[in-house]
Structure 1
Amino acid sequence: MSVAEFIGLVVLVAIPYGLIGLIWTLTHTSHLADMEGVDLVISFLGSVVCWPVLTFSDVCMT
């Protein structure tokens, strides 16, 4: 595979991953309620990136 094919593969995988993470984060915002400023931005972006782990921990805690 060439470098361009690897970049294309990363883009094709990253778009659905990011969209699912964004949807999951927007529907699970309770942990963001008391935050503001940089903490809110970092926590929001962390939730988008780490949604598989957060989904698993959300299921295990209920």
Structure 2
Amino acid sequence: MIGKILEHEMKLSELLGLLILIGIPYFLVGVGWTLTHTAHLEGIHNNTDKVVSFLGSIVCWPVLLISNVTMT
């Protein structure tokens, strides 16, 4: 059964659609996580650094979630 699934060929449009369906919830959870955990942004005075840190938090929210749980 796993072999049948792995042998399935996808069109490029199907692959892009799958990536979008996975990416939208990931992005929304990342934005939610970042908006509720902004303490690290208070010490940054450069606006460019704040934007990069904000976007990095959106991308890396699973790692930040695990590190937050294990450090408390």
TM-score range, shorter chain: over 0.9
Aligned partner of 1:21 among 22, 27, 30: 30
Over the matched positions of the two proteins, sequence identity in percent amounts to 56
Partner in structure 2 of residue 8 of structure 1? 17
RMSD: 0.6
Could you say which structure has the greater relative contact order, defined with CA pairs below 8 angstroms and 6 or more residues apart?
1
TM-score by length of 1: 0.97
Moved over 4 A (4+): none
Which consecutive residues of structure 2, in runs of 5 or more, have no partner in the other structure?
1-9
Bigger-Rg structure (1/2): 2
TM-score by length of 2: 0.84
**Number of residue pairs the alignment of both structures matches:** 62
Establish whether residue 38 from structure 1 lines up as the match of residue 45 from structure 2: no
Which consecutive residues of structure 1, in runs of 5 or more, have no partner in the other structure?
none
